[in-house]
Structure 1
Amino acid sequence: MFRSTLACGAVLMLAACGGAAAPEVVTPAGPTPTQTATLSESVRVLSSDEFEGRGIGTEGEGRTIEYVSRQFAAAGFEPGGPNGSWVQPVTLRRFNMGGAEASISVGGRMLRLDQGEEIVMSTRLPDGDGHVELGNLPMVFVGYGTNAPERNWNDFDGVDVRGKIIVVLINDADFEDPSLNTFNGRAMTYYGRWTYKYEEAARQGAAGVLIVHEDAPASYGWNTVRNSWTGPQFDIERANPASERTALEAWITRDTAVELFRQAGLDFETLKAQARSPNFQAVEIPGATFDASYDLTSDTIETANIVGRLPGTTHANETVLYTAHWDHIGIGEPDANGDAIFNGAVDNATGTAALIELARLYGSGPRPERSIVLIGFTAEESGLLGSEFYAANPLYDPALTVAGFNMDGMNVLGRMTDVSVTGSGYSSLELDLARHAALQGRTVSADTEPQAGYYFRSDHFPLAKRGIPMLYADGGTALRIGGAAAVEAASADYRAHRYHQADDEWSADWNLEGMAEDIMLLYGMGLEIANNRVWPTWNEGTEFRPVRDRTAARRQ
């Protein structure tokens, strides 16, 4: 609901979606008061203070695993993890930064940068536990920090950033001027994501990165940055962390960047405009040096993906996936009301509750021919790490994973006239979605926020990169009662006051009929796929098609 949408067109026959004819579709029953009450109770429990914001590596994680696995078992699912366990263990490295101080010397002045105010600093580089000093480092503005050879674009061409602090803009060059259409116009590419900015900086040998935060291109406010990056940070274990991480991963406010450039005799807006050109040349910020110090401790923790499985009757080695992340931020700094528990009710107790409801639906009906696997991923809030770990260490053969459905931040406003899907024109699943949505009297809408890059911000993405056709769809753009204006107002309010904030709490006033309807929609799609021989496909020309095609012979 609180993200982008996509137009798929009119109802289409299944033969257009993958080849073989499918059984007649039986429209699932609509949402009932019992179903919505059960969903509400699951969200209430998972987002209660007792679960401590479902932070990874905390007592709240243990309570979450116990609750979800108990619900899966009661529904008739069996443990889907290794050795008959309900979990897939995930080893992460945890980084705690304390006593962080930073400043910039420029134009004869020192700009002090207070953690959480003008800057948010973090690191995921384990080398150098103890007191870390980054002193007198030169600074370079490298535009959008993008190196995209296939688009004839390299912001690092002709500049050596090794050992320096680079300043980069968030999103893609097309964001301010979609007519350029170098990076898909308004639709963000992966090059626009903060994760890419940090990864590319490490590949270029930079000592650190300062991403300039602006609300519109980031698609969230400074509070989200502060709440997401001032606590412990996590990463999967890496063989050579220094090749993939820098010593400093940071954001600075736009006002700080403007003042930095002004003191150096530069104009932020002028350089920002120049950075939209593939001919842009990186600019050494004259006389500017960066200093930072912090105390770093790092250790490894064990967290877990929660996995339930319902074996198929005739093709048990073929898997239909449903995924949602169970984690949230945990306990952080108290807000103005003194609340320090980030309950994560919408994000993502709703998706986790949907997994439980899907277990009940599949467990109470005839056993499908293909296996159904439900995964509650850990560490999504830390950079999709639970899904990345699973994708790198799959429990079920990716080549024989038929398709998957991801659920993250579901609809709590009521029934919609349409359904929203993130990621435009990617797979045949979008045609299936349009057909099944029509059975509910709904349409599929055009993407309203492709510039926000939501496709790269949830757990389907690591699986898609491995070739598994994944759909991320729920909610819509217009309520049946209240229309589009009500959805727009609620989305804006959520992002401003609840997203990654302590006020993301369960409410008895929610209308979960729309969430229940979305679950029935995804259940109907998955049930159909699980009972036929169709293999959904990536559309021709998408970046995930070649990966899937390499294993095509195994699906004959």
Structure 2
Amino acid sequence: MRRSTLLLSSLSAAVLISGAALAQEFQISEARMNEDTRILASDEFEGRGVATPGEQRTIEYIAQQFAAAGLQPGGVDGTWYQPVTLRRFETSNASGALSVGDWTLPLHQGEEAVFSTRRPAEHVHLEDAELVFVGYGINAPERDWNDFKGMDLRGKVLVVLVNDADFEEPELDTFGGRAMTYYGRWTYKYEEAARQGAAGVLIVHETAPASYGWNTVRNSWSQPQFDIVRANPEAERIPLEGWIQLDVARQLFQRAGLDFDALKAQARSRDFRPVTLEGAQLDAMMDVSTETVETRNVVARLEGSTHPEESILYMAHWDHLGVGEPDADGDAIFNGAVDNATGIATLLEIARAFAAGPRPERSIVFLALTAEESGLLGAEYYGANPLYPLETTVAGINMDAMGVWGPTRDLSVIGWGQSDLDQRLERLAASQDRTISPDSTPEAGFFFRSDHFPMAKRGVPMAYAGSGDVLVEGGREAAAAASAAYTRDRYHQVNDEWSPDWNLGGMAQDAELFWRMGLELANSRDWPRWAATSEFGPARTASDDRRR
């Protein structure tokens, strides 16, 4: 592995940092980030599962690194931690069957389907539940779109398409074209089904619109699930959250006298109406073990010298999937090396960079977040219970699954056009002789799939970027091949392991850029703004009087 360091003094501080200069040079070290990644992704950390011994090792390691860098505890009561109370749901003995007349298709957990729940109960048992196809399962009044059309769906199981209606035909532009909206996320499908009073949802898995294969679904939903503690979970969660394979859906529709592909095409229209699968029924059952657990966000802070009440936020999630079912080689540990030991390694290195330099004028807050893999729950908890006011959080930078294939000629920006942070990213990238590549796969909905989202929806301008689409060595073709191979063979699989063959030059590029961006903001009086077209702008405007 290449272990060079990237000297950060090459860029003019006079250009980047208004009226300030670095008291000393600091080197972003690939070797340090490599070692942090290797340690966090080792078997000793047991896949960094929430509320497991692996969590304790993980958060202690992160806190130790923050302390060694010279930062101060930023958590509750002078500690490094923010406790996060969650409900943990572990299912067992899950099974089911689809039937139409005398045709029956058994559903085996992880094979034809996956079943889970985030609703407190000892058992889930659906018997002879009626099935209704509701297209994309979207109710969006502002887009004049309602897939339910007033149909009474109480007690029914909804069969739903993944993504939103523009994925297959972006020229329709009913949901902004190819880029996924929040309506396309699986989280939304389940939330809306609860509002409709449904008993369950079966999302039809397709690799392209989901942006990941069936292995990812099987591994992610076969693990324990978590949720925040809700006052009325029966109103907000459905009993059965499920996925089925595409060929299962096609068989089911055919047996019910329907053409799945034809109905899928019809679902792209505002005129689509729910279709009952006549004679089709679902039987499903599982045992559920529910308990309340406490997990933790890790928080460090560097207090600002002039405006300590104003904060720049850096964040990455520490959790992964923990220990699951063994693969063919007997490996049961989901090490989560790229996702997201690399993000935490980058967070730690940026923390060292800030601690080594002169104190910035605004405070810097570093958040290592829990339960991202369970639905951004650690970030959601912090957003609802911020330790430092969100109204005076200047902006944030999120780091998730960093590049491990070498330096790139560009920087990929997720959610390009959302805020004027994009122009800062573009200028800083140019200083590295890099261009900007707006998210190359907006249809995958990455803007809604990482921890910046709970902050963004509360109005905090957030940047989410990473290594681009054109590798210095190998170009666009090599970058695409590496990304595709990772998604296919490693993402949310036991094979996401640290490798001595990685080239962290791109990760170092990004760490430098993110550090410079935060330092520039911290030594300015700037308040980044959402674009006029952004749905997140109104939340920020509501708190304008808190910022001077």
TM-score by length of 1: 0.94
Q: Which residue of 1 aligns with 2:29?
A: 35
User: 2:254 aligned with 1:259, yes or no?
Assistant: no
In the alignment, residue 114 of structure 2 is paired with which amino acid? V
Q: Is the 8 A contact 2:23 2:357 kept in 1?
A: no
Aligned equivalents of 1:29, 1:267: Cα separation in 2? 67
Which residue of structure 1 aligns with residue 281 of structure 2? 289
Which of 378, 384, 390 is the equivalent residue of 1:386? 378
Kept after mapping to 2: 8 A contact 1:29/1:520: no
- For 1:65, the equivalent position in structure 2 comes to 59
- The offset of 1:322, in angstroms, is 0.2
1:23 paired residue among 15, 18, 21: 18
Residues 32-61 of structure 1, C-alpha deviations (whole Å, 9 max, x = no match): 6x8111110000000000000000101111
**Shift in Å at residue 158 of structure 1?**
3.3
Residue-pair matches, total? 535
Is 1:487 the equivalent of 2:479?
yes
Whose RCO is larger (CA < 8 A, sep 6+)? 1
8 Å CA contact retained: 1:97, 1:122: yes
Q: Could you tell me how far 1:337 is from its partner in structure 2?
A: 1.5
> Given the superposition, is the C-alpha separation of residues 25 and 441 from structure 1 closer, same or farther in structure 2, using an over 3 Å criterion?
farther
After superposition, residues 198-209 of structure 1 pair within 5 angstroms as 198-209=190-201
Q: Which residue of 1 aligns with 2:494?
A: 502
Asked whether 1:139 is paired with 2:139, we answer no
Q: 1:91 and 2:85 equivalent?
A: yes
Displacement of 1:312: 0.4
Q: Distance in 2 between matches of 1:120 and 1:28?
A: 55
Asked if 1:471 is matched to 2:463, the reply is yes
The answer to whether 1:124 aligns with 2:118 is yes
Shift in Å, 1:22 = 6.5
Q: Report deviation, 1:30.
A: 10
| 8 A contact 1:142–1:168 mirrored in 2 | yes
Instruction: Report what 1:55 is aligned to.
Output: 49
Q: Which residue of 1 aligns with 2:11?
A: none
**Cα distance in 1 for residues equivalent to 2:89 and 2:225:** 5
Distance, in Å, in 2 between the alignment partners of 1:218 and 1:291 is 25
Measure how far apart 1:134 and its partner are.
1.0
Query: Structure 1 residue 108: deviation in Å?
Result: 2.1
SS in 2 for 1:379: coil
Alignment of 1:211-226 (within 5 A): 211-226=203-218
Change (3 A) 1:27 1:83: closer
Matched, 1:515 2:507: yes
What is the match of residue 107 of structure 2? 113
Tell me the alpha carbon deviations over residues 205-258 of structure 1, each in whole angstroms, 9 at most, x when there is no partner.
000000000000000000000000011110000111111110000000000000
Q: What is the CA–CA distance in structure 1 between the aligned matches of 2:193 and 2:322, rounded to whole Å?
A: 29
**How much identity, in percent, do the aligned residues show?**
61
Q: Which letter maps to 2:158? A: I
Q: Partner letter of residue 475 of structure 1?
A: S
C-alpha distance 447-359 of structure 1, shift in aligned 2 (>3 A): closer
Alignment of 1:285-364 (within 5 A): 285-364=277-356
The alpha carbon displacement at 1:554 in A equals 1.1
- 8 Å CA contact 1:419, 1:437 repeated in 2: yes
Alignment partner of 2:394 out of 384, 390, 402: 402
TM-aligned CA distance change 1:134 to 1:484, over 3 Å:
same
The amino acid that maps onto 1:253 is Q
Partners of 1:158 and 1:108 lie apart in 2 by 31
Give me the whole-angstrom Cα distance separating, in 2, the residues matched to 1:368 and 1:446.
30
What's the secondary structure of 1:185's corresponding residue? coil
Q: Is the 8 A contact 2:414 2:438 kept in 1?
A: no
Structure 2 letter corresponding to 1:116: G
Q: Counterparts in 2 of 1:530-545, with a 5 A limit? A: 530-545=522-537
Q: What displacement does 1:107 show?
A: 3.2
Q: 1:408-444: per-residue Cα shift (whole Å, max 9, x none)? A: 0001111111101100210010000001111111110
Aligned residue identity for 2:74: G
- Aligned twin of 2:71: 77
1:491 CA displacement? 0.3
Tell me which of 141, 157, 164 is aligned to 2:156.
164
Residues 1:192 and 1:115: Cα distance change in structure 2 (over 3 Å)? same
Question: What is the match of residue 550 of structure 1?
Answer: 542
Q: Distance in 1 between matches of 2:371 and 2:146?
A: 32
CA contact (8 A) 1:170 1:194 kept: yes
Measured after TM superposition, the shift of residue 544 of structure 1 is 0.6
Q: Secondary structure at 1:445's aligned position in 2?
A: strand
Correspondence for 1:9: none
Please report how far the alpha carbon of residue 25 of structure 1 lies from its aligned counterpart in structure 2 after TM superposition.
Answer: 8.0
- For residue 381 of structure 1, give the secondary structure of its aligned residue in structure 2: coil
Distance 1:256 1:145, change over 3 A: same
Describe the SS at the equivalent of 2:438.
coil
5+ long unaligned stretches in structure 2: 1-13
Q: Distance in 2 between matches of 1:429 and 1:102?
A: 48
C-alpha separation in 2, matches of 1:152 and 1:28: 57
Structure 2 residue aligned with 1:10: none
Q: Is the 8 A contact 1:460 1:470 kept in 2?
A: yes
| Residues 31 and 287 of structure 1, relative CA distance in 2, 3 Å threshold | farther
- 1:423 aligned to which of 405, 411, 415: 415
Q: Is the 8 A contact 1:174 1:185 kept in 2?
A: yes
Deviation at 1:31, TM superposition (A): 9.5
List structure 1 runs of 4+ shifted beyond 4 angstroms: 24-32
Residue identity opposite 1:372 in structure 2: I
Output the CA distance in 2 between the equivalents of 1:123 and 1:529. 42
Question: For each residue in 1:44-80, what CA deviation from the matched residue of structure 2 results, as whole angstroms up to 9, or x when unmatched?
Answer: 0000000000001011111111111011011110100
2:363 aligned with 1:371, yes or no?
Answer: yes
Aligned to 1:197: 189
Show the counterpart of 1:529: 521
User: What root-mean-square deviation, in Å, do the aligned CA atoms of Structure 1 and Structure 2 show?
Assistant: 1.7
Q: How far did 1:27 drift?
A: 9.7
CA deviation digits over 1:439-495, x for unaligned, max 9?
Answer: 111110133101000000000000001100000011011111211111001001101
2:268 to 269, 276, 284: 276
Alpha-carbon offset, residue 102 of structure 1? 0.5
2 CA distance for matches of 1:27 and 1:517? Answer: 18
Q: Matches of 1:282 and 1:238 in 2, distance apart? A: 30
**CA distance in 2: counterparts of 1:442 and 1:233, whole angstroms:** 40
**In 2, Cα distance between the equivalents of 1:269 and 1:514?**
42
Give secondary structure in 2 for the equivalent of 1:358.
helix
Residue 132 of structure 1 deviates from its aligned partner by 2.9
Distance 1:364 1:529 in 2: 18
Contact 1:124 1:233 in 2 (8 A): yes
SS of the residue corresponding to residue 29 of structure 2 reads helix
**1:27·1:439 contact (CA, 8 Å) conserved in 2?**
no
Contact 1:158–1:281 under 8 Å retained in 2: no
1:100 aligns with 2:94: yes
CA distance in structure 1 between the partners assigned to 2:179 and 2:226 by the alignment = 28
Aligned to 2:219: 227
Distance 2:163 2:63 in 1: 38
Give the TM-score normalised by the residue count of structure 2. Answer: 0.96
Aligned partners of 2:441, 2:124: CA distance in 1, in Å? Answer: 40
* Kept after mapping to 1: 8 A contact 2:398/2:463: yes
CA contact (8 A) 2:124 2:239 kept: no
Residue 336 of structure 1 and its aligned partner are, at CA, apart by 1.7
